[in-house]
Structure formats: C-alpha cells, structure tokens
C-alpha cells in the first residue's frame, strides 16, 4: 500500500495538469515557432518557467488503481503486479492464466 501522501500528491498533479494544459500548449507552440521574434519567444519561455512544476505531464506517475503502488504498473489493466497476479489467479482477466511448465 502506497503512502496516502504520495497518492494525494499525484491527485494534485493531475488537477494542476488539467488546469494549466492549454496555457502550456500555447506557450510551447510560441517557443517552437521560428517566425516569432526572439524577444517574444524569450517572454513565452519565461512564462512557461513561471508555471507550477507539477503542472507538467512528465511529473505524473502511473499508479495502481487498488493500492496506489507506482512500481511494476501494468498500463493495460491499471494494476500493479501484485493485484494483477490476484486477478489472473481468480480468473478476472480474460485470456490470461498462470504459466506452468
């Protein structure tokens, strides 16, 4: 089980990302546009730097839906390896079964 503070921090990051997403995209487009003057691009870069760090998508971490574990996360199911194993053993994941040889 992940610490509650870490899970809450991830929720905060998701909220910040949704809040500042459009603003970030506009600023990034302005920075990458070569037809705009250097001064305008510099101003856009400074504005981008002034946004909260946690509003960036790359700061988010994928977590298990059941326990909040960040390591060994499976994107297909949204579960960590531990809960994925329980789901497979109980037959909740179609097409998967325990390997035995």
One domain for residues 53 and 70: no
* Residue 26 backbone phi and psi in degrees, to 5: -65, -45
One domain for residues 17 and 49: yes
Predicted structure pTM score: 0.73
Pairing of strands 73-74, 79-80: antiparallel
At residue 96, does pLDDT exceed 80?
Answer: yes
One domain for residues 9 and 33: yes
* CA terminus-to-terminus distance, the chain: 32
- The token pair at 20 is 């500042």
One domain for residues 57 and 73: no
Element (H, E) at 45: helix 38-50
One domain for residues 76 and 54: no
One domain for residues 49 and 85: no
Give me the residues paired with residue 80 across strands.
73
The rounded mean pLDDT for the chain is 92
At residue 62, does pLDDT exceed 80?
Answer: yes
What does the pLDDT read at residue 100?
Answer: 75
One domain for residues 7 and 51: yes
Domains in the chain, number: 2
pLDDT tens readout for residues 7-33:
999 999 999 999 999 999 999 999 999
> Domain containing 96: what range?
65-101
What does the pLDDT read at residue 101?
Answer: 73
One domain for residues 50 and 69: no
């Amino acid at each position: 089980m992940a610490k509650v503070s870490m899970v809450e921090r991830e929720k905060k990051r998701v909220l910040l990302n949704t809040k500042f997403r459009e603003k970030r995209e506009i600023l990034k487009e302005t920075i990458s546009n070569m037809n705009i003057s250097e001064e305008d691009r510099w101003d856009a870069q400074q504005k981008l730097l002034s946004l909260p760090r946690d509003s960036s998508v790359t700061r988010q971490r994928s977590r298990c839906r059941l326990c909040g574990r960040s390591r060994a996360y499976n994107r297909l199911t949204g579960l960590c390896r531990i809960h994925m194993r329980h789901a497979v053993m109980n037959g909740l994941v179609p097409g998967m079964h325990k390997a035995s040889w």
